[in-house]
Amino acid sequence: MRRRTILDVAERAGVSVGTVSNALNRPEIVAEKTLASIQAAIDELHFVPSAAARQMTGARNPAIGLIVLDIGNPFFAEVYRGVEDVAGEAGYVVVVCSFAGDPAHERRQLRQLEEQRVAGILATRVGKGNSRVYGRMRKTGTPVVMLDQRSASKDQCSVSVDDVAGGRLAGEHLCELGHRRLALVNGPRDWSQCADRRTGFLAAAEAAGAQLLAGADIEAEQMTIDAGEEAARKLLAGEQLPTGIFCANDLLALGVEHALIAAGHRVPEDFAIVGYDDVAFATMAFVPLTSVRQPAYELGRRAAEQLLDEADDEKHKHERVVFAPELVVRASTGAAIDAAPDRSPIRA
């Protein structure tokens, strides 16, 4: 059976195509009786309005864009769930774009979203050089909310977590357990989240008289399990081994844990590990992972609420919401240790 068109609806309802168009896009100017006839025709024909056709009339697409770094990271899946719950309740769909850290790919995705006339964009990362692209989009009427990162301006909404405090929680926990030789497995430092987590961790270490070992301040290009495994191999090749390791996300931490255990080491007896995000399967690791929890679902919900309010309310007031992180302690950090300087894990 062929797909029904607006012309079919007009013929069935006994009205003009223009009247059907008004009923779909500006129902307030159509008489109630006529609206009822058109709706009956739509129901009988199982007609589905074309979003593309509606955009040709200048109508906004009932969709929002969600730009994430890595759709394979379960943290972003939980963020999406919060976004989708709010968007769905308001009659919007969510278009998810994952750019894997490639700024050129991100720009292509932004252009496509803009061409689709989405109601707004939630950005969890801004690729290098792309700040001006987002700025131009905002100037031309597309709201952009920063999600999981604080906006630089008070004139732009954002929802984030205090990552300096999160890094400090991880450092304080390891130091309170007696660890003084520390390692950091981080993502790119030009990402504000990674830079902030490092700042907080180093501040906690300095306050406790602990040190980040030479060669143990690792900056991974990707925040993945594979990158965590590679980081662990670098740590094991160092002249001095750390006893406490902080990883800037859980995927890195799970990779580090896997590589250390595969090399014959024990977690947490030889190496205590703290991750970040507290993704769902952190509890299902071979050694359940201690992690700094971000409220991923709440981040997504609040950001979506901000975006839709900005899109629909000309009197919208911008706000920068900051959530507090929480340390969730599990087996990967274990009990307090003897902090004597000669304690060294056995090499494989």
pLDDT digits (tens, 9 = 90+) for 311-329: 888 889 999 999 999 999 9
Specify the CATH architecture of the domain 163-294.
Answer: 3-Layer(aba) Sandwich (3.40)
Q: What per-residue confidence (pLDDT) applies to 140?
A: 82
Segments of the chain assigned to CATH 3.40.50.2300:
61-162+296-324, 163-294
Instruction: Report yes or no: 274 and 332 within 8 Å, Cβ to Cβ.
Output: yes
CATH 1.10.260.40 region(s) of the chain? 6-56
| Range from 36-45, 99-108, 162-171, 277-286 that averages highest in pLDDT | 162-171
Provide DSSP, 104-159. Answer: HHHHHHHHHHHHTTEEEEEES---TT-HHHHHHHHHTT--EEEESS--SSTTS-EE
The arithmetic mean of pLDDT across residues 226-243, rounded, is 96
Q: Is the pLDDT of residue 262 over 50?
A: yes
Specify the pairing of strand 326-328 against strand 290-293.
antiparallel
Residues 271-314 pLDDT 10s: 999 999 999 889 999 999 999 999 999 999 999 999 999 988 88
Residue 2 is predicted with a pLDDT of 64
pLDDT at 115 over 90: no
pLDDT at position 224? 93
Looking at residue 47, its pLDDT comes to: 83
CA 156/CA 154 separation, integer angstroms: 5
pTM for this model (two decimals): 0.80
Answer whether 64's CB lies under 8 Å from 304's CB: yes
Query: pLDDT averaged over the chain?
Result: 89
Q: 256: which residues sit within 8 A by CB, 6+ positions away?
A: 185, 228, 229, 231, 232, 235, 245, 247, 273
CATH number of the structural domain 61-162+296-324: 3.40.50.2300
Task: Give the confidence band of 53 by pLDDT, cuts at 50, 70, 90.
Answer: low
6-56: CATH class: mainly alpha
Residue 111 has pLDDT above 80, yes or no: yes
Number of neighbours of residue 235 by Cβ within 10 angstroms = 21
